[in-house]
């Protein structure tokens, strides 16, 4: 089988659920209390798409705090896709996608980067403060994928990555499934990059061998 690496960067305000989305996608788990990302967390997951092709997602989780914003630009290098995440109960997190994150990506990411918007925490829809129709229309303006997600219930998590994979490959139908093997955890990897000196370039962790 052919293997292709695919770099995805998740951005958005602190607390919108970027880390939880990644954890749900990779481990199918959810934690109520999770520490905010203060640098960048690098995770990988190999999945099989229709046709037997193996796609190795290289997923970067980034810090949403304002003091780390300028450092996020370094994670866009060579990125294939960027997912902008907002919390459906926090309109400010959606407004910042429009006012900041979309522009930051436009200015620093590759021109052909695939864009996606994840409306996260759909399990709290009764407390929604962001009009979904407005958000979908904005996604259309950006030519971006729009998916409603819940990292807690897992709603839309696989769909988010499936839609990104479809747009990248041009396939009309992709179903992501775990790669077969006696040790599936061997296909997953997590590394944390701590940013202590804002002026120092962050180096991507060395990859382990792929089986």
pLDDT digits (tens, 9 = 90+) for 4-50: 899 999 999 989 999 999 999 998 898 776 655 545 678 889 888 77
Q: Phi/psi at 140 (nearest 5 deg)?
A: -60, -40
Tell me the pLDDT band of 122, cut-offs 50, 70 and 90: very high
pLDDT at 64: 55
Distance of CA 181 to the CA centre of its chain: 25
For residue 42, tell me if it sits in a domain: yes
Which has the higher per-residue pLDDT, 64 or 96?
A: 96
For residue 207, tell me if it sits in a domain: no
pLDDT at 115: 98
For residue 103, tell me if it sits in a domain: yes
Domain count, the chain: 1
Average pLDDT, the chain: 81
Torsion of CA 171, 176, 179, 184, to 10 degrees: 150
For residue 204, tell me if it sits in a domain: no
For residue 208, tell me if it sits in a domain: no
CATH number, domain of 7, equals 3.40.50.300
For residue 123, tell me if it sits in a domain: yes
pLDDT at 182: 35
Print the domain residue range for 159: 3-193
pLDDT at 36: 55
For residue 96, tell me if it sits in a domain: yes
For residue 40, tell me if it sits in a domain: yes
DSSP code of residue 191: E
């Amino acid at each position: 089988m052919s293997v292709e690496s695919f770099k995805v960067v998740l951005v958005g305000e602190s607390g919108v659920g970027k880390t939880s989305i990644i954890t749900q996608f990779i481990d199918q788990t959810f934690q109520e209390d999770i520490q905010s990302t203060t640098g960048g967390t690098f995770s990988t997951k190999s999945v099989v798409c229709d046709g037997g092709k193996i796609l190795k997602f290289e997923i970067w989780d980034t810090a949403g705090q304002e003091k780390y914003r300028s450092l996020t630009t370094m994670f866009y290098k060579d990125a294939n896709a960027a997912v902008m995440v907002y919390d459906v109960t926090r309109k400010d997190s959606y407004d910042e996608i429009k006012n900041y994150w979309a522009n930051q990506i436009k200015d620093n990411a590759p021109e052909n980067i695939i864009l996606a918007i994840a409306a996260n925490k759909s399990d709290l829809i009764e407390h929604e403060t962001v009009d979904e129709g407005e958000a979908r229309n904005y996604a259309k303006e950006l030519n971006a994928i729009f998916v409603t997600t819940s990292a807690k219930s897992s709603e839309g998590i696989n769909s988010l990555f499936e839609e990104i994979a479809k747009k990248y490959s041009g396939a009309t139908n992709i179903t992501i499934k775990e790669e077969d093997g006696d040790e599936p955890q061997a296909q997953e990897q997590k590394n944390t990059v701590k940013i202590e000196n804002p002026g120092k370039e962050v180096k991507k962790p060395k990859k382990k061998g792929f089986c």
